[in-house]
Amino acid sequence: MDYVGALRITSGPSMLPTMATSGESVIESKLSFNLNPRTLRRGELISLESPLEPGRIVCKRIVGLPGDIVCVDPTGRLAPSTEHTVVPRGHLWVIGDNAAASRDSREYGPVSISLVRGRIWARVSCLST
């Protein structure tokens, strides 16, 4: 199952309002990424190993692919909003949907594609009766 996908429980505020701060269940699709990592697209949610905390899996949105010129920090909070960089080959630029509470490429720079675990394929809702 580890090669096909996994059910993950999210925690933390970095993906608000897309995901809850705790208890959100998501399906991580590893198979589609492992078969063809070149199919990653801007706007997709991915799971990846944190470059700052090895072993910790985080969820972020892809905003830049290899060769893209990206604004380092569109919010202007961590860097001037006029500062741009080129995403190197084999890397992605990722940002949390809640930029004010997200540690992402604005802090640690481009992320190696080798850290990507999979795509976030779906959220799972549990309805109580």
Catalytic residue among 14, 47, 102, 105: 14
How big is the chain by its Cα radius of gyration, in Å?
A: 15
Residue 30 annotated among the catalytic residues of the structure: no
Residue 14 annotated among the catalytic residues of the structure: yes
Go through the chain and tell me how many residues it has: 129
- Separation CA 61–CA 101 (nearest Å): 14
Catalytic residue among 47, 60, 102, 105: 60
- Separation CA 125–CA 106 (nearest Å): 31
Which are the catalytic amino acids?
14, 60
